[in-house]
Amino acid sequence: MSQQLNNSRPQEEEINLREELEKYLKYWPWFLLGVIISLGIAFVYLKVTSATYHTTASIIIKDEKSKSPSSEMAAFADLGLLGGMGTNSIENEIGILRSKRMMTNVIKALNLNVTYHNENAIKNQELYLDTPYFVQVLLLNENKLASYTRDEANEFYLEVNEKENFHLINTETGKKYQGNFGQPIEIPFANIILLENTEFQSKDIGQSVKLKIRFTNLEPVVLDYRNRLQINLTDKNSSLIELGLDDQVKAKAQDILDQLILEYNREAIEDKNLVARNTATFIDERLQIINKELDSVETGKEQFKEANRLTDIEAEAEMFIENASDYNKREQELSTQLELANTMIDYLQSDSRSDLLPANLGIEDQSVNTRITEYNNLVLERNRILSGSTAKNPVVIRLNDQIDQIRANVLESFERLRSNLRVSKEELNRQGSVINSKISAVPGKERQFRGIERQQNIKESLYLFLLQKREENSLSLAVTAPKAKIVDRAYSSSTPVSPKPKIILLSGLIIGVLIPFLVIYLKNILSNTVKSREDMEKLAKEIPVVGEIPKIAKKENEMVLKHDRSVLAESFRILHTNLQYLIVNAADKEKGNTIFVTSTVKGEGKTLVSFNLALTLANTNKKVLVIGADLRNPQLQRFEEDARLYNGVSDYLAGDKFKLSELIRTSMHHENLDLLPSGSIPPNPSELWRRTKTGEMFKELENQYDYIIVDTAPSLVVTDTFLINKWADITLYVVRAGYTEKKLVNFAVDSKRDKKLHDVSFVLNDVKWANFGYGNKYGYAYGEEKESILERLKNKVAIW
């Protein structure tokens, strides 16, 4: 038993899934139309939208820690000034590459805030370098440009009149600005120069280009490319960085990435050079300080030596010892010189001026020897002249005067020499005692001298070290390597990253199916009206649905004609057939059958169903009468133009003035169809229906006609139908698809249960083609000429 249950569940689930699918498959024209429209939009989008390509470049950030000590930081490192500083992490370098300042430098360098577009092209793609003319911005007022950007007046068309003449036409205001190529021109927010692109390939193409030049502030351009820039670290343990950028122009994206790397290296080199220059400044300042300190130490050393009369302590100590033995020799020499000086002084004071002075006596003073020689020469010349002249000769007199003067000088020189020698002798004696004291003071002076010399050596070493570092720093300043090594220069993908045709077309296909699905799904969920036979069978299982009337297009005929093979006629024929099985004791009944047609509210199609059912029965050679039983709002005039003008049911029930035979009229549409109009609209329809004449009227009419179709009033609104329903053999309850609310169907069920209506059957009116029949899979057009797929699609869409 349980196995049977288990076997039945999948089957039920399969049936339910099939039913759910059929709810959507019956709207297949909308799905097909949605797919066609979506694919068409996707195709147009692919044709109009410019392709976007991915551009990639890769660099390696050099590790500062692995650099040699001869780098620009080696001087500071050797000096111990960078002990607490390390190299920046790779995340910091990525942050620099992403910085707004770096991207601003790139945009300025490439002049990317000025763009060029070809208005004649289908795709409004930026021309970039493939433009016949370039704009060089001399001066840009960002504030004015910002106001023009808000007014959309920052775009200009280029109109070239002659070879050297052009016009810039503002796209918003239409104002023209005339200028010449290569010469400055002033526009409201900038001073620019327009130049021809010498690398532009074809002038014929340039003539077909309707060039539009757009000026934009740096800020939005910088933010746009900064947001689009992709920087990825390929591996956590490496310094290889991959830069990426998506753009519609390959060359532009490549230039941006290459320029970004260039700006990064340039800034890094400037930073390194700044460090080197600061290092040089620091070293120069330290050299000045060390130089002053070294001068101070050397001056102290000099003063110490001067104060102690030292040159070399060891040498002087040896010299003091050696000079101790030389002292006596020197003293003897001085005594000899002193004796010679005394002798010569005595000689000059006693001797006449005519005698020559002795020379080459060993006197050490050369000035004295020179004067003696000069004196002797004058004496010899005078004596030579006197040999041939007298003493009164003017020359002899002049020479005598010179001889006396020089003799006095010689005497003075010897006296000075004697005094000097005496002083020297005294000094020598003093030095003798000093030498002896110095020999005893050598150890203490040596200790002091060693301390001064130690300070001098330290300052000299530091001074030489700084000189060496200054030269190393100068070399590093002259030769600075870039920080980022380029692994791959910027290159673009051959296939676009967007839009991707396969994805776009697939998306269009999915959207084309999804939108109708969602519309139908939401429509079914939000709808509170009856749509199809399935809805009726779920809402009221105890009341059968005996007929479905299709939705009629506006241009189609609402009535069933003779020999009519339309879907409308076939639906009423099916209704007629189903009624034959519902008529109780139809075979034994000799009188005609009375069929009431009612509904819940106004507008559900009671009159249409009544009249067409009567026409269908009349086409079977049956005598049929249509009664307009809605005395409050008669509608038979829709099919019989003058029906409202005739007397009818209300006039018959109100008194004995009219007979039924006088009120019944033959329909203009069929010879077997008669019409009993509603007549004059009474003030008390319910009271009229309560009269005994009502039953007499139905009995009399049943004897005259095979079928009596009664078009009654809405059951929910008024009580008229309930009052006369006892005379009905069958009650057809009309429900209009898409109009009657589902909750109103319960009114028919309750009325049957309360026995207010009997022998009730539903007729579903105005059913859309998609909901008609059993999912419209089989249809009611058997034997008709088949329409083309396009015509059927058009009809289904129109009916739906």
Using CA atoms, how far residue 55 sits from 60, 116, 490, 500, 654, in Å, is 17, 21, 6, 16, 94
pLDDT score, position 162: 63
pLDDT at 2: 40
Which domain-ending residue is among 480, 496, 525?
525
Q: Is a pLDDT exceeding 90 seen at residue 624? A: yes
- What is the per-residue pLDDT across 740-763, written as a single tens digit (0 to 9) for each? 998 999 999 999 999 999 889 999
Average pLDDT over residues 110-122: 83
| Banded model confidence at residue 399, pLDDT cuts 50, 70, 90 | confident
What's the chain's average pLDDT? Answer: 79
Q: For the chain, what percent of residues have pLDDT higher than 70? A: 79
pLDDT at position 64, please?
58
pLDDT of 643 reads: 75
For residues 410 and 75, what is the distance between their CA atoms, to the nearest angstrom? 70
Domain hosting residue 674, numbered range: 530-799
Pairing of strands 114-118, 184-187: unpaired
In a domain, 739, yes or no: yes
Assigned domain for 148 exists: no
Whether residue 321 lies inside any domain: the answer is: no
Q: Which of 85-94, 440-449, 456-465, 624-633 is most confident? A: 624-633
Which of 186-200, 395-409, 523-537 has the lowest average pLDDT?
395-409
Residues 618, 679, single domain; the answer is: yes
For residues 202-225, average pLDDT: 76
Summarize the confidence of residues 104-121 as an average pLDDT: 87
* pLDDT-above-90 percentage for the chain: 18
Q: What is the mean pLDDT of residues 131-143?
A: 84
> Quick one: pLDDT at residue 11?
44
Residues in CB range of 173: below 8 A, 6 or more apart: 153
- What mean pLDDT is predicted for residues 375-390? 78
- Return d(Cα 732, Cα 612) in angstroms, integer: 13
Q: How confident is the model at residue 354 (pLDDT cuts 50, 70, 90)?
A: low
Domain assignment present for 697: yes
Q: Would 461 be classed as within a structural domain? A: no
Statement to judge: residues 628 and 521 lie in one domain: no
Segment 154-161 mean pLDDT = 81
369 vs 153, residue with greater confidence: 369
Structure confidence at residue 13 (pLDDT): 42
Residue 153 binned pLDDT confidence (cut-offs 50, 70, 90) = low
Q: Is residue 512 predicted with pLDDT exceeding 50? A: yes
What DSSP letter does each residue of 606-655 carry, written as one string? HHHHHHHHHHHHHTTT--EEEEE--SSS--GGGTSTTGGGS--HHHHHH-
Is the model more confident about 64 or about 53? Answer: 53
Q: 363: closest CA among 340, 342, 345?
A: 340
Indicate whether 5 pLDDT > 60. no
- Give kind and range of the element (H or E) at residue 143: helix 142-150
pLDDT score of 82 = 45
What pLDDT does residue 104 have? 92
Whether the CB-CB separation of 681 and 631 falls below 8 Å is answered with yes
Mean pLDDT of 557-564: 82
* Spatial separation of the C-alpha atoms in residues 523 and 201, rounded to whole Å: 59
Residues 534, 665, single domain; the answer is yes
Give the pLDDT of residue 68.
Answer: 45
Which range has the top average pLDDT, 415-419, 448-452, 730-734? Answer: 730-734
CATH number of the domain at 555, please: 3.40.50.300
Q: Tell me: pLDDT of 510 over 90.
A: yes
Domain count, the chain: 2
Residue 479 inside a domain? The answer is no
Beta-ladder partners of 212? 117, 157
Q: What is the 3-state secondary structure (H, E, C) of 419-445?
A: HHHHHHHHHHHHHHHHHHHHHHHHHHH
* Lowest-confidence pick of 78-87, 141-150, 399-408, 498-507: 78-87
Looking at the structure, tell me whether residues 638 and 667 fall in a common domain. Answer: yes
Three-state DSSP at 37 gives helix
Token pair, residue 560, equals: 């069933």
Confidence of residue 777 (pLDDT cuts 50, 70, 90): low
| Of 425 and 135, the one with more pLDDT | 135
Is residue 367 situated within a structural domain?
A: no
Residue 4 confidence (pLDDT): 41
pLDDT computed for residue 435 by the predictor = 65
- Span 519-534, pLDDT tens digits: 888 887 888 888 888 8
Is residue 93 in some structural domain? no
Reported confidence tier of residue 480, pLDDT bands at 50, 70, 90: low
Q: Residue range 348-354: average pLDDT?
A: 64
Q: Flag whether pLDDT at 685 surpasses 50.
A: yes
Task: Give the Cα separation of 674 and 676 in Å (integer).
Answer: 7
**Using one digit for the tens of pLDDT, what is the confidence trace for 570-581?**
898 999 888 888
Does residue 702 share a domain with residue 566?
A: yes
pLDDT of residue 130: 84
Tell me, yes or no, whether 648 and 752 share the same domain.
yes
Q: What is the mean pLDDT of residues 445-453?
A: 68
pLDDT score recorded for residue 596: 94
Q: Are 570 and 520 part of one and the same domain?
A: no
Q: How far apart are CA 591 and CA 581, in angstroms?
A: 17
Treating both helix axes as pointing N-terminal to C-terminal, what angle do 90-98 and 250-308 enclose, rounded to 10 degrees?
120
Final residue in a domain of this structure, among 475, 490, 525: 525
- Of the given ranges (72-76, 461-465, 505-509, 529-533), which has the lowest mean pLDDT? 72-76
Q: Does pLDDT of 477 surpass 70?
A: no
> Are 520 and 576 in a shared domain?
no
Q: Are 538 and 566 in a shared domain?
A: yes
Coil/strand/helix, residue 466? helix
pLDDT band at 708 (very low <50, low <70, confident <90, very high): very high
pLDDT tops 80 at residue 640: yes
Residue 662 scores a pLDDT above 70? yes
For residue 88, pLDDT over 70 is answered with no
DSSP 305-368: HHHHT-S-HHHHHHHHHHHHHHHHHHHHHHHHHHHHHHHHHHHHHHS-TTSPPP--S----HHH
Residues 521 and 591 in one domain: no
Same domain, 658 and 519: no
The pLDDT tens digits for 279-309 are 777 777 777 887 877 777 777 777 777 777 6
Q: According to the model, what pLDDT value does residue 234 have? A: 84
Q: pLDDT value at position 71?
A: 45
Residues 637 and 661 in one domain: yes
As given in the structure block, the two tokens for residue 84 are 């607490």
| Domain-ending residue, one of 525, 555, 579 | 525
